[in-house]
Chains A and B, each alone.
Chain A
């Protein structure tokens, strides 16, 4: 076999980057060619949502191997909660597959998950596997089974309403599965109002109006996301409430700019400059 004639130093930056990329990928492969299980520190890693202030409140972002609950703020906010959960799952999943377990009842109430709509948010549907569960018990069981599969990037668990099966024990089982594998669990509480809580973070999500300058057309998806419970920082993190807008190009959440003046780069904006959050509804 011929040895490489290139001295390491003679490599161009492009091939250096390529090498870096290869190293990263090889590191992710286990001895058997399968996805390597995450190291303990990777399992608890914080993945930023992109919104600087929200990420700061979470100590860097939602933790990977943890349960994150997403509730609609009111009846009619299910689509917003659904979108927020899907986008958060996508942020957390990296380039790994996503499993979405949903209860049949959720489909009857507000429709089946629509792959072209996910694609429109930047989530590649070919990464998605859907489990259609007949009842809440099956949702939890399938969710737990999926969470144990370390190759996944995220699992969205979507029961309907406030089922009895969704008790503290069931939630703890999800938490344990997520912590064990390092796979993030997003508990999307479509049609749900409350109930027991074992999640690391709990979000209440409402729809938010499109940006003003978008004229009469609809702007990018916007959310009013309230972090109601935050156990990520030493058990008692600060709650908070932010206007988020999804940036499709950069695949991240950014502060929504409803003042009318679009900022040059939302990511560079100092967090303090964001005004008080105002609920825009009656």
Chain B
């Protein structure tokens, strides 16, 4: 770390701390104490990435993991600790797992995140019994409040060295001098106020998980576990009258590594075999397969998004429900190829052909069902008004027209010359002034047929004489 022109220590390990080195000390001073000090350039970005990777691994204890500052993880283990045989085991497991990775960690459990952090950071860690926060933090130094340097200095100047010193002071004068921050922090630490942790990811709607004393790794064991988890999840969802629209499967390896895969559905889903089928597709399609290593010891299935579930009513007047099976097929295809590759057409209220009918992910609502497509029907004994394939972007062509604003007589497309036998047009399509930049030309579209019966949708970009003197021509689509 570089501060005020001189290099300073950003962090020290235990051995260095034992020598009296501390963060903020200049490098020169540190070198004077220990000339052979091993120094590495601080890299906050890498630190952040590392902390984030550790947070992934911490998800084995709870899906609610938040980052706190540059050096702490906050885990909300409410209701989760019993799965590990109590809070004590969670702490021991965390310390030993991170220890094996080469990190020395201090861990604490308390009723509020702030108290847990203070006890871990300044009090050596441990478990604070319910309601015991005020007592547990009383003896901690003022630094445990994590106030800015000026406020902390001011409090120390008043002779307030510990949290208890501050707690015993009348509040009004403190607020007058230092603002609300110190007392708000104090209340959080003493368990009198709560600030929820902000998890890195949105908390799932519901979860099901299995822990294995003997890690599993065989494909059939994993599949069976997914099916069991899906059945657990289905029971929860059924009770709530819901189905899942997005699901995530999280694998925790015995060596601590974590990997997650997600799938989406087009309709609320809870049928276990359907869930298994989606994940089977997804797992099979991964370019970088999930590697069990020496086995998974935790597998968790989360419903990330849920929606009210309605039993599919059989409408005899409408015949069988093709949509239900189509929807399941769409989910499987999307699980394998990605939801952006399984599409349905939507109709937009615009004259611009390239914007009129975009394909949108089929799982995100069915825009096509509501659209009125009949406006594109041809007149009797005529060609359809719109092409069957649309070029994006339109392809530049060379055109010979009889008169500059008339239909084309000949045009060259990809080096082939086409003689126009029939032409219809122009159909004038003006740019949408509220969307297009000033000066975007008006297009005149022509439907033309060449001597072989091939049909093209061409347009002249710009009105001759008014917008341009040498208009360009483009191929925008082809007709059947």
Binding site for B on A (CB under 8 A): 22, 25-26, 28-30, 33-36, 76-80, 82-84, 86-87, 95-97, 99, 107, 110-122, 124-126, 128-134, 138, 141-142, 145-146, 149-152, 206-211, 214, 216-223, 246, 248-249, 280-281
User: Residues of A contacting B392 with CB < 8 Å?
Assistant: 107, 111-112
Q: How far is the CA of A25 from the CA of B319 in the complex (A)?
A: 5
- A-contact 0/1 string along B323-339, CB 8 Å cutoff: 11110111011001100
In the assembled complex, 26 residue pairs joining A and B whose CB atoms fall closer than 8 Å, in A order, are: A25-B320, A36-B320, A83-B479, A87-B480, A95-B319, A111-B478, A112-B359, A113-B359, A115-B359, A116-B353, A120-B377, A122-B377, A126-B373, A129-B330, A130-B345, A132-B340, A132-B341, A146-B333, A151-B322, A207-B452, A218-B422, A218-B424, A218-B448, A223-B480, A248-B380, A281-B451
- A-contact 0/1 string along B297-314, CB 8 Å cutoff: 000000000000000111
The residue from B324, B330, B388 contacting A113, defined by CB atoms under 8 A apart: B388
Smallest CB gap from B342: residue in A: A131
User: Residues of A contacting B397 with CB < 8 Å?
Assistant: none
The residue from B320, B326, B341 contacting A133, defined by CB atoms under 8 A apart: B341
Decide if the interface of chain A is mainly helix, strand, loop or mixed. mixed
User: Residues of A contacting B336 with CB < 8 Å?
Assistant: 141-142, 145
Question: Is B369 positioned at the interface, with any CB of A under 8 Å from its CB?
Answer: yes
Question: Is B356 positioned at the interface, with any CB of A under 8 Å from its CB?
Answer: yes
B369 x A220 contact (CB < 8 A)? no
The residue from B312, B325, B447 contacting A151, defined by CB atoms under 8 A apart: B325
**Closest 4 pairs between A and B when the two form their complex, measured CB to CB:** A83-B480, A120-B384, A111-B389, A151-B325
Question: Is B37 positioned at the interface, with any CB of A under 8 Å from its CB?
Answer: no
A117 x B455 contact (CB < 8 A)? no
User: Residues of A contacting B318 with CB < 8 Å?
Assistant: 25
B359 x A130 contact (CB < 8 A)? yes
User: Residues of A contacting B447 with CB < 8 Å?
Assistant: 218
A128 x B329 contact (CB < 8 A)? no
B39 CB to closest chain A CB, in angstroms? 49
Q: How far is the CA of A269 from the CA of B184 in the complex (A)?
A: 92
Question: Is B213 positioned at the interface, with any CB of A under 8 Å from its CB?
Answer: no
In the complex with contacts A33-B320, A121-B480, A210-B422 CB distance below 8 A = yes
Q: How far is the CA of A262 from the CA of B339 in the complex (A)?
A: 48
Q: How far is the CA of A151 from the CA of B453 in the complex (A)?
A: 36
A119 x B452 contact (CB < 8 A)? no
A96 x B322 contact (CB < 8 A)? yes
B386 x A221 contact (CB < 8 A)? no
Question: Is B122 positioned at the interface, with any CB of A under 8 Å from its CB?
Answer: no
Q: How far is the CA of A84 from the CA of B376 in the complex (A)?
A: 19
Q: How far is the CA of A220 from the CA of B477 in the complex (A)?
A: 17
A133 x B386 contact (CB < 8 A)? no
CB contacts under 8 Å to A, within B366-402, are 366, 368-369, 371, 373-374, 376-378, 380-392
Q: How far is the CA of A106 from the CA of B387 in the complex (A)?
A: 16
User: Residues of B contacting A152 with CB < 8 Å?
Assistant: 322, 326, 329
The residue from A33, A122, A134, A223 contacting B314, defined by CB atoms under 8 A apart: A33
B135 CB to closest chain A CB, in angstroms? 62
B117 CB to closest chain A CB, in angstroms? 47
The residue from A79, A96, A146 contacting B329, defined by CB atoms under 8 A apart: A146
Q: How far is the CA of A120 from the CA of B316 in the complex (A)?
A: 30
A115 x B368 contact (CB < 8 A)? yes
